[in-house]
């Protein structure tokens, strides 16, 4: 912390990552639409956008970790930001699931005449809940248990155990995401068929999206833990 600074806030240096992240997100969105419809060059633009976006996420988190640990800019006041951000992310996930489970319950308990008054709609091939969904059920809480183990290891100053726990979390997240991709690819319906497909597709991709972001974030955390960091006190980015 600079001695002449008279406040507890961190005034960040100019960074190229916000604009690069925006460009990567724009390229990913436009490329995704072009790929789905299918326009020439859509797959290439989508791939470039994803690569650019992933690179931006990695270097941005790297800079945040350096500011937090090596430079000591994350005071108690600054640490509130990542903590509130984590809380708001969890709240947003709760709201997403509440809305979609509400729609699922409404459609299944009182099927509309537009889908024949039955649930699932006639002619729909239903996914077997005892196959991939059953396999993913224990994997998801296991990844949560592993990251909780990492959290307590970080607080206790046991970096080796924290790295092991984060590796386990990342592996479980990758397995979960792989199974979700298989389920989505092999599903006998598409998102445009009816209400059943829209709900099931959402449930297929939402867990994968969460685990994907979680895996990327924790890969960055693992990189930060593998460095010789001076103190655990400023690691709000790792423990939020």
Mean pLDDT of 119-127: 76
Between 221 and 74, whose confidence is greater?
74
Percent of the chain with pLDDT over 70: 77
Contact yes or no for 176/208 (Cβ under 8 A): yes
pTM: 0.64
Take residue 44 and report the two structure tokens written for it. Answer: 């290439």
Distance (Å, whole) CA 56 – CA 23: 10
pLDDT in tens, 185-204: 777 776 666 666 555 555 55
The secondary element (H helix, E strand) that includes residue 113 is: none
Residues 6+ apart with CB under 8 A from 29: 49
Task: State residue 197's pLDDT score.
Answer: 58
**pLDDT at residue 231 tops 80:** no
Please state, rounded to an integer, the average pLDDT across all residues of the chain.
78
Task: State residue 1's pLDDT score.
Answer: 47
Chain-centre distance for alpha carbon 191: 21
Task: State residue 150's pLDDT score.
Answer: 82
Contact yes or no for 55/27 (Cβ under 8 A): no
Dihedral pair phi/psi, residue 176, rounded to 5°: -60, -45
**pLDDT at residue 229 tops 50:** no
Sorting pLDDT into bands at 50, 70 and 90, what band is 136? confident
**Residue 67: CA count within 13 A, CB half-sphere:** 19
Name the least confident of 68-72, 76-80, 226-230.
Answer: 226-230
Distance (Å, whole) CA 206 – CA 99: 13
Task: State residue 105's pLDDT score.
Answer: 82
- Per-residue burial over 160-194, b if 16 or more Cβ lie within 10 Å, else e, is eebbbbbebbbebbebbbebbeebeeeeebeeeeb
Task: State residue 230's pLDDT score.
Answer: 41
Name the least confident of 21-25, 61-65, 116-120, 165-169.
Answer: 116-120
Mean pLDDT of 50-57: 92
Domains and CATH numbers, the chain: 14-68 (1.10.287.70), 76-239 (1.20.120.80)
Mean pLDDT of 93-101: 83
């Amino acid at each position: 912390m600079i001695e002449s600074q008279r406040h507890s806030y961190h005034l960040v240096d100019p960074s190229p990552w916000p604009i690069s992240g925006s460009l990567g997100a724009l390229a990913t969105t436009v490329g995704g639409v072009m790929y789905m419809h299918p326009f020439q060059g859509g797959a290439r633009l989508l791939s470039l956008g994803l690569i650019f976006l992933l690179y931006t996420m990695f270097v941005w988190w790297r800079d945040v970790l350096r500011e937090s640990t090596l430079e000591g800019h994350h005071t108690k006041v600054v640490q509130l930001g990542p903590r509130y951000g984590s809380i708001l992310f969890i709240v947003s996930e709760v709201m997403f699931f509440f809305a979609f489970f509400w729609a699922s319950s409404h459609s299944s308990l009182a099927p509309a005449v537009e889908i024949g008054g039955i649930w699932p709609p006639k002619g729909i091939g239903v996914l077997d809940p005892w196959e991939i969904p059953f396999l993913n059920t224990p994997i998801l809480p296991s990844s949560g248990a592993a990251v909780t183990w990492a959290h307590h290891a970080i607080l206790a100053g046991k970096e080796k155990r924290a790295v092991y726990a984060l590796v386990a979390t990342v592996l479980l997240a990758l397995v979960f995401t792989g199974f979700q991709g298989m389920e989505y690819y092999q599903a006998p319906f598409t998102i445009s068929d009816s209400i059943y497909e829209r709900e099931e597709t959402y449930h297929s991709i939402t867990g994968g999206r969460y685990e994907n972001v979680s895996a990327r974030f924790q890969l960055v955390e693992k990189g930060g833990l593998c460095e010789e960091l001076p103190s655990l006190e400023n690691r709000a980015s790792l423990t939020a």
